[in-house]
Structure 1
């Protein structure tokens, strides 16, 4: 098998004492990762070290930037969630901090290095603290969303874009995907959640009517955010997230993916607002938010719209990861 051949060649090249061909080793690692979502512990150790060595290059020539970009794209495609932190943390931290000071990475490369980290937040509070509080993920992600939203030429068709324009659109799409994973895995609350949700809403409004894939990703990401207890429902209201999803479901024609993700969003909002607490202050805040959301949905004719979805609940439930509820009351908010 080609895969086994690559693995054998990587080990042989890595074990050379002299005249090691670093460029060949990098190319072999990228090929091996492209063929394997999950790597063996031995291959993780070799590939991560090899690709990080490439990513640490600080030359700003076009060739060096392209090499770094390709290395980081390969690195973030490693599917193993539990990569030993000592294999990458110091190097990743150096790459991010150097870019924050010198802006040496391409947008796609910078997104990739963050994606590698965010994927590994799974059950790792130590890494969460570094990502959120030391490396300032929320601030960086919000800025990248804002800048890329301005850079993307939303009226241009894909085939009309030049190479750099296409890269900016891909980077923006991947940032929204990264935030989806971040909301899913980050359990550490921070005040920048509100800014990130505002950023996604901004991207959604820019993409609406221009790029259905990115728009759909935004709605899906907001649905994940709505489920997480670290994200306040009040923030979903103030950021315009609820308005954005309401606008989507009121469209005369609606893609099944969008219908599913919109229902997931409102199901999660409804579920969150039903969660009572013994803390008197928090309970008062919940009730106040619940009334605001109820009034917003009533004003926009939400109940009638959702009722029209009732006949397709079973279809969406069966065909989209069984995520939706079959009980229509789970999508409503009652005062």
Structure 2
């Protein structure tokens, strides 16, 4: 039976790959009207593919072939960009790693085109630069600081369009998605972009002109700007009230997602998209905790909101649950939250509850253990005579919780009998046994 299922799965994947190859080859002979239909068929086909299939489909060879089609005038640049932006949106929304484009001749072509348009200064094609920027960013982030400095102003100009028709909303959404993909390794000229992205966020809060995905992406870009920048993080926390806005968005998204559906079951498009937007918010928090911890900004409100997501997602949406645990881990690791806040917010309770699941997955267990390790380091940092009583009280509270609920034995068993065999040597801080659990 296993061999038969494996064979059927392989046949289905081969069928999807063949369908894609056929559709892609037909692009050369399409007229303008047929082209849009073909792209819709390609996007629908991508929805059927899993991550492995998508990764193996969008290879360097595919992008090189597209470059060849452009060179031989079998595919117009307008149609190529139209197709790539749609595929890039899909890959970015699904958070799929794709290195085929990064190493392709097509990427080199686009970089050259951006440089040539920039050299014109006056009379350059602003839409072309914005479209090229979207393609480059959606397929894997910035390529250089110089590229950012050319493309970002044009993408912000698109994103600042306040018309509320459907076509404009889609363009704004795509531009903001692309901006949120900027590689955080490159230094971004924060002062040039801070006012524009603030305006976009504040205008939406008054007029609700953005889609949920666009609004999340706007915050994603702003959080990238905040890395290692005290002024920007203070704007986010104190002026734009990120914790309040993020908590409200998470609450509304939680009401929209069908939590009773199994992960493998089909869901309505709206529900599926909102589930993906929720995941993107959780990823935003990881980056948000970095500058907050460095500047000693307390993020307990965010952690409390994530607790709610973890609890509703636990039964049928393990991937979202995993993201929640990773966010707790990041908050503790970056010192963006204190141990007592982890207790009061319910984060510790929520993590411990998950450990008792009969269908516990290995990666979930691993993330839980990492979270406890990072949280124990926070306890270790509470020092001085004035803080000694507080540290002892937190230790006592955790020990009692573990003993009452029977969690201590469960975690000991997970660590000693499962973790080493799967993950090898799991090194903890020297005095970890004094805190939380006797691992």
Check whether the contact 1:111–1:175 (CA below 8 A) recurs between aligned residues. Answer: yes
Which of 161-170 and 199-208 deviates more?
161-170
* Paired position in structure 1 for 2:60: none
Whether 1:216 and 2:322 are equivalent positions in the alignment is yes
CA distance in 2, matches of 1:260, 1:109: 33
Task: Report what 2:256 is aligned to.
Answer: 151
In structure 2, C-alpha distance between the alignment counterparts of 1:122 and 1:316, rounded to whole Å: 35
Distance 1:43 1:297, change over 3 A: same
Q: 1:201 aligns with which of 302, 307, 318?
A: 307
Q: 1:123 aligns with which of 217, 225, 228?
A: 228
How many residues are treated as equivalent by the alignment? 329
Taking the aligned partners of 2:310 and 2:350, their CA distance within structure 1 comes to 8
Deviation at 1:61, TM superposition (A): 0.8
Q: Are 2:242 and 1:140 equivalent residues in the alignment?
A: no
Deviation at 1:202, TM superposition (A): 0.5
Q: Aligned partners of 1:174 and 1:145: how far apart in 2?
A: 11
Q: Which has the larger radius of gyration?
A: 2
Query: Partner of 2:404 in structure 1?
Result: 299
Residue matched to 1:9: 113
- CA distances 1:174-214 after superposition (whole Å, capped 9, x unpaired): 111111222234223445x2221111010111111121110
Larger RCO: Structure 1 or Structure 2 (Cα < 8 Å, ≥ 6 residues apart)? Answer: 1
Q: Distance in 1 between matches of 2:310 and 2:223?
A: 22
- Per the alignment, residue 70 of structure 1 pairs with 174
Q: Which runs of 5+ in 2 are unaligned?
A: 1-104
CA distance in 1, matches of 2:277, 2:436: 40
Please say if 1:31 is aligned against 2:31: no
2:432 alignment counterpart: 330
Q: Whole-Å Cα distance in 2 between the matches of residues 329 and 198 of structure 1? A: 28
Please give the residue correspondences for 1:45-194 in structure 2 after superposition, counting only pairs within 5 Å.
45-81=149-185, 82-156=187-261, 160-187=266-293, 188-190=295-297, 193-194=299-300
User: Residue deviations 1:126-163, cap 9 Å, x none?
Assistant: 22111111111111111111111111122346764333
What TM-score do the two structures reach when normalised by structure 2? 0.69
- Contact 1:303 / 1:332 at 8 angstroms: preserved in 2? no
1:238: Cα distance to partner? 1.4
Aligned-pair Cα RMSD in Å: 2.4
Give 1:19 deviation, angstroms.
5.4
Bigger drift between 292-301 and 120-129 goes to: 120-129
In the alignment, structure 1 residue 258 sits paired with structure 2 residue 360: no
Superposed displacement of residue 85, structure 1: 0.9
CA contact (8 A) 2:307 2:345 kept: yes
Q: Which residue of 1 aligns with 2:352?
A: 246
Residues 258 and 125 (structure 1), Cα distance of their counterparts in 2 relative to 1, 3 Å cut = same
